[in-house]
Amino acid sequence: MDGATAPTPKPPLDLLIAAPRGFCAGVDRAIRIVELAIERFGAPVYVRHEIVHNRHVIEDLRSKGAVFVEELDEVPDGVPVVFSAHGVPKVVPAQASERGLEFLDATCPLVSKVHRQAERLVDNGRHILFIGHRGHPEVIGTLGQVPEGAMTLVETIEDAERIMPADPGNLAFLTQTTLSVDDTAAIVAALQRRFPSIRAPHGEDICYATSNRQAAVKDIAPQCDALIVIGAPNSSNSVRLAEVAERAGTRAKLIQDASELDFAWLAGVRTLGLTAGASAPERLVRGLVEKLQERFDVSEREIAGAIELMTFKLPRALEVA
């Protein structure tokens, strides 16, 4: 006997990692636009609003030469500016043009699709009920595609039950792209019951990435004692992922990265689910797995869901010749 004490074995932890998770095609494209703009024009490149809602992405781009501001009047003359993936009201590019600023629009094409539908519906004389969360930049951007008063925001099922449009026979609805699939279906059902002639969008406005990530969480949540979502608290799709798990009866926590992991919260957890919102880089997922390995004997398994092949073209100004 040499007197050495054998290390205490770590408790086992089954880690079920949802797929798909993390970056979507719109986030990928938006980040690439900022990187290419820095390469093409040189630093600094200004970005109006967080390009995507993730502080790690922001810090990384800042270190490469991006400067983040909230409003266009914070952008000095003569430097390029990028608009975030969430989209901007029409007045923003108009003001940029007036000032002669070089601007690049990183609005996700799936958000732009909703913008175009909004314009068409209003041109055809419809009043739009827009399902979304007040104050979210995507909602501000979409409301800003049409004249004031042409769109009414519906946030909840209670709003849907209460709303009294001036011309109930001439309505259409559209939605934010990153909503809860289930909540939105309930709101839409209420609107369709109250206003049977309401026009639905062409195809789903909730985007493929939001739906796929929610479906993947729904799939694994029942097998998990708890589930962690990596994402920012202001990331709509990340917040929705935690809600989806909780609705499935699995307690869930949204954390920005491994530094926010509270091991006490994992007491009694034998099977843990893990996913990441559409703006969270995969390295944050790996960082969390490594942190879990410090205290647990982790056996990880990826549970594959929908296969995503979506990619979006870059703005013409940045296309490689």
List contacts with ligand SF4 (CB under 6 A). 24-27, 85, 108, 110-111, 177-178, 207, 209-210, 237, 278
Q: Between 129 and 207, whose beta carbon lies closer to ligand SF4?
A: 207
- The amino acid that residue 56 corresponds to is H
Q: Between 27 and 36, whose beta carbon lies closer to ligand SF4?
A: 27
Is there a catalytic annotation at residue 138?
Answer: yes
Cα gap 238→111, rounded to integer Å: 17
Q: Between 127 and 277, whose beta carbon lies closer to ligand SF4?
A: 277
Collect all residues with Cβ–Cβ distance below 8 Å to 171 and sequence separation of at least 6: 126, 127, 128, 129, 165, 191, 195, 197, 198, 199
Q: Between 110 and 248, whose beta carbon lies closer to ligand SF4?
A: 110
CB 301 within 8 A of CB 16: yes
CB of 138 to ligand SF4, least distance (A): 8
CB of 299 to ligand SF4, least distance (A): 30
Q: Pull the structure tokens for residue 48.
A: 């109006």
Q: What angle do CA 116, 118, 123 make, to 5 degrees?
A: 95
Cα gap 176→290, rounded to integer Å: 35
The residue at minimum Cβ distance from ligand SF4 is: 26
Q: Between 131 and 269, whose beta carbon lies closer to ligand SF4?
A: 131
Give, as one character, the DSSP assignment of residue 199: B
User: One of 39, 102, 138, 319 is an active-site residue; which one?
Assistant: 138
CB of 242 to ligand SF4, least distance (A): 16
Q: Which of 92, 81, 98, 82 is nearest to 115 (CA)?
A: 92
Q: Please report how many Cα atoms fall inside a 13 Å half-sphere around the Cα of residue 240, on the Cβ side.
A: 26
CB of 270 to ligand SF4, least distance (A): 32
CB of 213 to ligand SF4, least distance (A): 8
- Enumerate the active-site residues: 138
